[in-house]
Structure 1
Amino acid sequence: MALLPDIGTSKANNVSDTSTQPNKTYKMLIDDNKIMGHTTNDIEAVEQACYKVLNTERYKHVIYSWNYGVELNSLFGKPMPYVLSEIPRRISEALLQDDRINDITDFDLSYDKKGNVLVKFTVKTNYGDISISKEVNVS
């Protein structure tokens, strides 16, 4: 009597038979710092995923994979021309880890003398486009 389920060898070895995982997550109320008891999916789920990635510094938290998060802290104190060229690349690299995201476009960067950089961009997803803005302090 076998204790493991009989899944058949042909299906277990067929890598192309994988399916996309569900796109369901708990609804976040970001302004209220709450997570709702009900779920959301599709474009709202991707928007929440973008928020979480952009607010998690890569390599800082051992709970996350090294592929999760964005590398912005290392831009602190760097010259503004370097910062302005690196931010779009780093944001794109971080967000494109999600297979629901197809492209990051329309970057618009502005900054002030205090070292605050405001980044606006469009995230092209399987469900539609999302407009996102993120402020980064580099001084």
Structure 2
Amino acid sequence: MIPNASINIELGSAESIETSRTYKLSGDKIQGYVDGLEALKQAIYKVLNTERYEYPIYSFNYGIELESLIGKDPIYVQIELKRRIRECLLRDDRITDVDNFKFEVNGDEIKCTFDVHSIFGNFTASREVIF
């Protein structure tokens, strides 16, 4: 038997905030869940270690282009790395700014350290690139 009562539901104009809860990657295993700042750090690690246009599972907007920097002048690599990291990370709505870039050149490797400002707080991240 189906009830005859009518139900009125009024939908407000409140904005919904998407959660950042995701699986926690621990080495080569998935163990539990992570949320907030730790989820953002994990997302940054993943996007900075995925070559853009390389994997068909990801959209063309995901990842960073680093292979084209191989064999280039260190000054050019530093300038491009700064631009590419900012471009890559600022696509994430949780990140408000990326700044304070510092570079350490050691042979054919550059270590780039930078500050990430997010809705969850600020932290320092880094990425090493062989050029």
Provide structure 2 residue ranges, at least 5 long, that are not aligned to the other structure.
1-10
3-state DSSP of counterpart to 2:39 = helix
- Out of 102, 111, 122, the position equivalent to 1:129 is 122
Q: Aligned partners of 2:49, 2:123: CA distance in 1, in Å?
A: 17
Q: Give the Å deviation of 1:112.
A: 1.8
For residues 41 and 34 of structure 2, what CA distance do their matches in structure 1 show?
11
Using the alignment, how far apart are the partners of 2:17 and 2:50 within structure 1?
Answer: 25
1:92 matched to 2:89? The reply is no
Return the offset for 1:23.
1.1
- Alpha-carbon distance between aligned partners in 2 of 1:40 and 1:120, rounded to the nearest angstrom: 24
Match of 1:21?
A: 18
Structure of higher CA gyration radius: 2
| Structure 2: distance between partners of 1:22 and 1:110 | 36
Distance in 2, Cα, partners of 1:91 & 1:127? 19
CA drift at 1:17: 6.9
- TM-score, normalised relative to structure 2: 0.86
Name structure 1 gaps, 5 residues minimum.
1-10
Runs of 4+ in 1 over 6 A off after TM superposition: none
Amino acid at match of 2:88: A
**Superposed, which structure 2 residues align to 1:1-139 within 5 Å?**
19-29=16-26, 32-36=27-31, 38-113=32-107, 115-138=108-131
Count of residue pairs brought into register by the alignment: 120
Aligned residues with identical type, % of pairs? 44
